[in-house]
């Protein structure tokens, strides 16, 4: 293939000059066991150029080919989706969350749309979907809102992150679809790995590492061991005493989990850090209560 098609140079939406070539794509930006073709690499390069995407800036744009027989897929991280909209002058923000079934005190079930991704089992909540509202100012003073709601049953694979963090995942799908619906020209042909997995184009054993945005095979993101689960409960007991179990339950709920079984190590690390911060804040609060202003 012509060398002219295997290298591009352009300015990204953030204003940086980007230089990409075939070797960078093959050696740095490709995921999976399949071997990408020159045509697939050229298409990746041209898409980055056309959409002004810099895959090296935040590490959230990848070419995934899990099998030689399967076509390569161009995927973008959910965070990159949102950051992209920040560069559009008509963009006026968004809100997103999950849809749950909530049981009332008399046992009746009601559908509730709430922001965030916390599921409170104590309130009898059951996750059923995700939603997102994106606002775009079409003309001065004329703000249009695009609303998208998606069903967990339709999109969940029940594997990998869909098993460990279903609330977070379904909210991501709602976000990406809402942004694409609100800005069709700017997002045409750009899909998140979560959507591609839900459609079956990419196996469910790929995950996005939240801290870095990197797309990796799920086997590279191990689940917690029994020793780590015990460590979590010991730390909670040390920090919060008799409240340990309820604290852990709330923190797991915030991650869309009902138990520590099958929890990813990345989630374990985040919860351990969160408990440490909560314990420090509790200690500071108790110290403040003992302060007597009259002593001055």
pLDDT in tens, 40-50: 999 999 999 99
Tell me which DSSP letter residue 157 carries: -
pLDDT in tens, 75-93: 887 788 888 999 999 999 9
Nearest to 255 by CA among 246, 268, 245: 268
Output the six-digit token pair for 58: 């935040």
Nearest to 175 by CA among 109, 97, 99: 97
By 3-state DSSP, what share of the chain in percent is helix, strand and coil, each rounded to 5?
A: 45, 25, 30
pTM attached to this predicted model: 0.67
pLDDT in tens, 169-209: 899 999 999 999 999 999 988 888 778 877 777 766 666 66
pLDDT tier, 214 (very low <50, low <70, confident <90, very high otherwise): low
Nearest to 128 by CA among 153, 103, 147, 157: 153
Query: For the chain, which residues make up each domain, given as ranges?
Result: 3-76, 80-220, 226-289
- pLDDT greater than 50 at residue 296: no
Matching residue, tokens 């790929």: 206
């Amino acid at each position: 293939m012509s060398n002219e098609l295997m290298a591009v140079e352009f300015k990204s939406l953030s204003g940086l000059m980007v230089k990409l070539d075939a070797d960078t794509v093959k050696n740095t930006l490709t995921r999976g066991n399949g071997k990408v073709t020159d045509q697939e690499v050229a298409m990746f390069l041209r898409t980055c150029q056309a959409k002004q995407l810099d895959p090296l800036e935040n590490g959230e744009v990848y070419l995934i080919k899990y099998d030689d027989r399967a076509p390569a897929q161009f995927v973008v991280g959910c965070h990159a989706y949102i950051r992209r909209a920040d560069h559009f002058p008509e963009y006026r923000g968004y809100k997103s969350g999950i849809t749950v079934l909530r049981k009332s005190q008399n046992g009746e079930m009601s559908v509730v749309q709430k922001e965030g991704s916390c599921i409170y089992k104590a309130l009898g909540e059951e996750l059923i979907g995700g939603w997102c509202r994106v606002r775009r100012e079409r003309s001065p003073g004329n703000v249009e809102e695009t609303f998208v709601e998606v069903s967990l049953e339709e999109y969940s694979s029940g594997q990998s992150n869909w098993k460990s963090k279903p609330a977070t995942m379904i909210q991501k799908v709602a976000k990406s679809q809402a942004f694409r619906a609100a800005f069709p020209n700017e997002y045409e042909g750009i899909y998140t790995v979560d959507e591609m997995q839900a459609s079956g184009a990419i196996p469910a054993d790929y995950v996005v590492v939240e801290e870095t945005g990197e797309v990796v095979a799920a086997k590279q993101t191990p689940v917690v061991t029994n020793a780590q689960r015990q460590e979590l409960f010991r730390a909670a007991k040390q920090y919060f005493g008799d409240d340990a179990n309820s604290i852990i339950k709330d923190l797991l709920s915030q991650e869309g989990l009902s138990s520590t079984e099958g929890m990813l190590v990345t989630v374990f690390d985040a919860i351990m850090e969160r408990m440490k911060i909560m314990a420090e804040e509790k200690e500071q609060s108790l110290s403040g209560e003992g302060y007597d202003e009259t002593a001055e």
